[in-house]
Amino acid sequence: MTEIKNLKTKCEKIKLVLTDVDGVLTDGGRYYSKHGEEIKKFHVRDGMGVNLLLRNGIKTVIVTKENSLIVKKWSKDMNISKIYSKAVQKEKKLSDICKYFKLAEHEIAYIGDDVNDLELLDSVGFSATPNDGILNAKKIVDYVCTNKAGVGAFREICDLILSIQFPNKTKWY
């Protein structure tokens, strides 16, 4: 019961959701066309999650170590508020994010899956990892998703936050 109460308390404060890309929004696989172009697969429910959050006053930001045209295109199509690309040490972006969005760390959620996410996961108000995130991520996060990366883990976090912030709302869209 204490864990549920703590989760509720953390999610009630969230005003911004940060997400990694590979291993969260995608299945982490690297696909290449016959011309050597990298291809990524995103789940439509995760994109809808971004828009459900946005319609309810919560923005989404991508924090990724890569600099991908595919991610930029998907982000624009899905109404991502900002992208922090080439973020090798993601935790160092948190101060900039707080200043830019005029928020405190406890008002920010982050979903990540691997070693380069651990410090940021440990610094925000609410943290999560997909079901197939690494063991060290699972040990420190507030919530381990039932869904795997690339198949609705991000949407699961969106639904969790929205259901806690708007318990009587029947339509989030």
Q: Quick check: is 170 in a domain?
A: no
Rounded to a whole number of angstroms, the distance between the first and last alpha carbons of the chain is 30
CA distance 55 to 48: 10
**Residue 16: both structure tokens together:** 């911004």
Q: Round to whole Å and give the CA distance between 136 and 17.
A: 21
Task: Assess if residue 20 is contained within a domain.
Answer: yes
**Is 51 a member of any domain?**
yes
Q: Is residue 173 part of a domain?
A: no
Position 171 in a domain = no
Q: pLDDT by residue for the chain (173 residues), tens digit each?
A: 467 789 999 999 999 999 999 999 999 998 888 888 789 999 999 999 999 999 999 999 999 999 999 999 999 999 999 999 999 999 999 999 999 999 999 999 999 999 999 999 999 999 999 999 999 999 999 999 999 999 999 999 999 999 999 999 888 78
Give the chain's domain count. 1
Q: Residue 132 belongs to a domain with what CATH number?
A: 3.40.50.1000
The continuous run of DSSP H or E covering 10 comes out as helix 2-12
Residue 172 domain-assigned? Answer: no
In a domain, 33, yes or no: yes
Any domain includes 29: yes
35, 53, 74, 131, 143 from 80: Cα distances, Å: 29, 10, 8, 23, 23
Residue 32 dihedral angles phi and psi, to the nearest 5°: -130, 135
Instruction: Residue 6: give the domain boundaries.
Output: 2-165
